[in-house]
Structure 1
Amino acid sequence: MKPINLIEKHALFTETWHPRQIAVVDDMQVILAKLQGEFVWHAHDEEDELFQVLKGTLYMQFRDKTEVVRAGEIIVVPKGIEHCPKTENNEVVEVLLFEKLTTAHTGNVLHERSQNFYPKI
């Protein structure tokens, strides 16, 4: 039971689209990630996802609209909703995610960016 410094943890890695687990709360995991460019269109059939933008601007694309999420804001993507996170102008966006331990990285889509587990830092 010690405080976790998000700035220090983000400084430990540079890879984009490769989340790192920093904590577990019951059956939920707290994840840090750096995002750059466009990800993969996908959905999570059984899990919601929470994104908190710590640095930069995230564009959460949905099939019918795009929501702009700025530093200090969160967005919850409900289960079953197809989405595709992206950044613009080559910006690296730092986020904190909160999701179930069972949540697959790219949801219902297998892709070269899919990860089977998130390294702990």
Structure 2
Amino acid sequence: MEPISLETALSSFTETWSPRIVTAVNDYDVRVAKVEGEHLWHVHDHTDEFFLVLNGELHIALREPAGERTVVLPRGAVFTVPRGTEHKPYAPVPTEILVLEPTGTSTVGDRHDEVPDHVDATTGHALA
């Protein structure tokens, strides 16, 4: 139960799209990840997904009843993808994010496209 430096946590790994759990709040994991390029289309049927961009820029494509749109999150921006919304994160430059999700939530959701080799299908890794 000591303070955790996000900078130190992020410097402890190099893999992209492979989040590390930095702490927990009630039944939620606080995860940090390095991301670049495309993730994959996926859906979390039972939970929202909260994103905070620490450095860089994150784009999130959304498939909504009204059609597709993309939200752009610059450094310091937050966005919540509502449960049941198909989405695909994309980072045009190396980006660092913080994600808040219920413990045990898969990075590729409950339904998804084929998982590319550069995406880690995980419920989060412990910090080294």
What TM-score results when the alignment is normalised by the length of structure 1?
0.92
Q: Distance in 2 between matches of 1:79 and 1:117?
A: 17
Partner of 1:62: 62
TM-score, length basis structure 2: 0.87
Q: For 1:83 and 1:102, locate their aligned partners in 2 and report how far apart those are by CA, in whole Å.
A: 19
Which is strand-richer, 1 or 2? 2
Report the CA distance between 1:111 and its aligned residue. Answer: 2.1
2:53 maps to which residue? 53
Runs of 4+ more than 3 Å apart? none
Secondary structure, counterpart of 1:36 in structure 2: strand
- Structure 1: 5+ residue runs without aligned partners? none
Q: Distance in 1 between matches of 2:18 and 2:104?
A: 17
Separation in 1, partners of 2:46, 2:120: 17
Residue 77 of structure 2 is aligned with which of 58, 73, 76?
73
| Distance in 1, Cα, partners of 2:58 & 2:98 | 12
Give the % identical residues. 37
Post-superposition CA distance 1:49-85 (Å, at most 9, x none): 1000000010111131111101111000010000000
Alpha-carbon shift at residue 114 of structure 1 (Å): 4.7
Is residue 104–residue 123 contact of structure 2 (8 Å, CA) maintained in 1? no
- Does the 8 Å contact 2:103/2:123 carry over to 1? no
Residue in 1 that maps onto 2:41: 41
Segments of 5+ residues of structure 2 without an aligned counterpart are none
Tell me which residue corresponds to 2:126.
120
